[in-house]
Structure 1
């Protein structure tokens, strides 16, 4: 059975919002990882609270507005009440939620760690596999380029990656990878093992 490797991308922080503060000259807000809830009769409002990086004033990102309480899943509502960190991160990375609130995020402010099985050149050169398969574990999207991920996890130079792309040696979802392609959760990356081995042999 062909082995499938996993590349896990774990952000260390949520993205900064690009928004002008009404109390100081800052244009950046960070996620507090806390929610604000306001209930009036049978309707409820829920916000994710952001704070100015400079003066700590607040900005509330709208999650639910004038929504009937019965329309919100009870488990979800309980997480709002308990300031569930995982849920806060889910909304903080949500492009759809930012679009609804007409705000932008500076995704370059997200730092991250990679977890992956390192494959040595010796292992690659001795492999009999026709294709190397890598699955991407990337639940929080911050527009990371696939090319950056491939280079880091396979320890390739920019020139080596360019050659593999030119040789159409890398595919994802049946399409040849280009440098502009962004990573997506559960992407299945396939790399032509023979072309990769040929490239590495030429470097020796």
Structure 2
């Protein structure tokens, strides 16, 4: 039975996507960012909800539709409460709604900067295999190979070589998985049986401890 160090990496994007909208104040396409504020409008038993964005140059506002003319009974009570209270966690999640942005914007800028939280989930004595469970709170623009290479302090060419040799495996898999965006729920397994001083050199990188 393989001896395993199992860790979880939680990826937290720093900057929400920014849509480019025709700005009435600037007179051209401009990047907008979320103000963090919800606007609601009730018409009888129907409700409109928008997330307010502001131009980065002149601060002219744009109301990005969340939904329009929605019957109150068709709105999830938790969603309605979040909208009415302008819940910051709900609003932040909505700012990463790429599908919603792309339906309304001619262009959407995404950003690769992120924070990462690491925790050990299980550690076998004398472990020789590393399992990394990746979770992402929101859609992220970071490629899997860039994430692993940066956090494990190795070149992407070496990482790809490990993948080609079957020493680095992913679930889900695929020939081009390393070049794809990180997906929440991805499991990365690396065989470190031939790596010397795993405990001293590798564990701090994998689990976020001191070097």
- TM tier, smaller: 0.7 to 0.9
Unaligned runs of 5+ in 2: 199-211
TM-score normalised by the chain length of structure 2: 0.79
Quick one: distance in 2 between partners of 1:147 and 1:20? 36
Query: Does the 8 Å CA contact 1:26/1:54 hold for their aligned counterparts?
Result: no
2:153 aligned with 1:166: no
Q: Could you say which residue in structure 2 is the equivalent of 1:143?
A: 141
Return the offset for 1:166: 3.0
Query: Does the 8 Å CA contact 2:169/2:188 hold for their aligned counterparts?
Result: yes
Aligned with residue 7 of structure 1, among 6, 9, 18: 9
- Root-mean-square deviation (Å): 2.5
Quick one: structure 1 residues 70 and 62, their matched pair in 2 at CA, closer, same or farther if it must change by over 3 Å?
same
- Higher strand share goes to which structure? 2
Count of residues in Structure 1 that have an aligned counterpart in Structure 2: 189
Return the offset for 1:169: 2.7
Aligned with residue 97 of structure 1, among 100, 111, 114: 100
Quick one: distance in 1 between partners of 2:172 and 2:138? 23
Quick one: distance in 2 between partners of 1:47 and 1:115? 32
Query: Which is bigger in relative contact order (C-alpha 8 A, separation at least 6)?
Result: 2
Map 1:108-119 to 2 at 5 A. Answer: 108=111, 111-116=113-118
Q: Could you say which residue in structure 2 is the equivalent of 1:47?
A: 50
TM-score normalised by the chain length of structure 1: 0.81
Runs (4 or more) in structure 1 with deviation over 4 Å come to none
